[in-house]
Amino acid sequence: MLSPSYTRNYVSDEQYLRSNEKAWAHWRKIKQPKLIVAPMYDGSELPFRMLCRKYGAEAAYTPMLHSPSFAESKKFRLREFSTCEEDRPLFVQFCGNDPDILLDAAYQVESLCDYVDINLGCPQRIARTGNYGAFLMDDLPRVKSLVEKLATNLSVPVSCKIRIFPVLQDTINYARLLEDSGCSLIAVHGRTRDGRTRERANWDAIKSVKDAVKIPVLANGNIRHMDDVQSCLTTTGVEGVMSAEALLDNPALFGGFRSGEWVEDGEDGFEDGKLDRGDLAVEYLKLCEKYPVRWNIIIAHVYGMLRKWFETHPDIRDDFNIKRKLSFEYLYSVVDRLRARGVRFPLYVKTKRPEVNLTL
């Protein structure tokens, strides 16, 4: 794996002493990860996390887990959650609105992770219906009770992933409420509840949160390649950045690889990284054989990684779409058929790499 250049915002001894010592001690204990796989529903499962870790990810979130189902059903737990010794540092994320049920769910995983995370950012209709995720922004006393319940009863720290309010001061007050309630880390998605991924994330709002609290802060939004990582760390001063949709397209993002759409035609300083999405799809399938997950998850990932190939060769895509009985042998054969057409969509790397600056 390549060693991309980016600035690490390590916490100073002075900052450590002025801040929440317990939160920072834990952050230091897990070696202050900077490059993090964001939680993705049916997207950040164990095989995908392990693929991203191979290519530079330093920590990862599980998909959002429904706390009532997780607390009540062993079958649900076995189907939806898996991990392994190498899958650390790990954030296990839950959604819910009942403190006792959320705690029961968290008890099931506290020995298997480094943070139990509360999803306070999901904007989807299912979150509105279930009254969780970003829709708890309308009920801050409940949010406070959720964080306090976990923080006072679990053996691992509690983290929260949030979205921003339309008014900056409301976002700052929200972050401080979480910190005062016992949250040890805040991940900020720099868009409002009604914002869409095509909109530019508000890094200035994330910086304001970072400046307002005394616990680690992570940034989420507009991380498409390693230049974005550096820009976000510099602009916001956060401890780490996370990526979601860009990783689905390119799981090697944190290894310094970028897709052709982020390399201008004829741009100097980039070369073929001798890796393409077909290679990544094969590696992912091998991990799925080792760490089984549901077929619908596998199909979604394979389709995402091979999307450009499928657009070029719609006959193979159509065959893939109508296939009813899937097997790993068939999926490997799809990659082989695409390769046989003689078209590549390489991932690119920078040819000149300045030395890594590990301090600000």
Helix axes 314-322 and 328-340, enclosed angle (nearest 10): 170
Task: Answer yes or no: are the C-beta atoms of 56 and 35 closer than 8 Å.
Answer: yes
d(CA 242, CA 211): 19
Residues 213 and 208: their CA atoms lie apart, in Å, by 9
Question: CB neighbours of 354 closer than 8 A, spacing ≥ 6?
Answer: 5
Q: Which residues are catalytic?
A: 122
Closest CA to 294 of 26, 41, 27: 41
And the tokens for 291?
């760490």
d(CA 16, CA 24): 7
Strand residues in the chain grouped as ranges (E): 35-37, 59-61, 65-66, 90-95, 115-120, 158-163, 185-189, 217-220, 240-243, 270-276, 346-350
Contacts 24+ apart (CB under 8 A), 24-29: 24/215, 24/216, 26/114, 26/157, 26/184, 27/184, 27/185, 27/216, 27/239
Q: Are 150 and 176 in contact (CB under 8 A)?
A: no
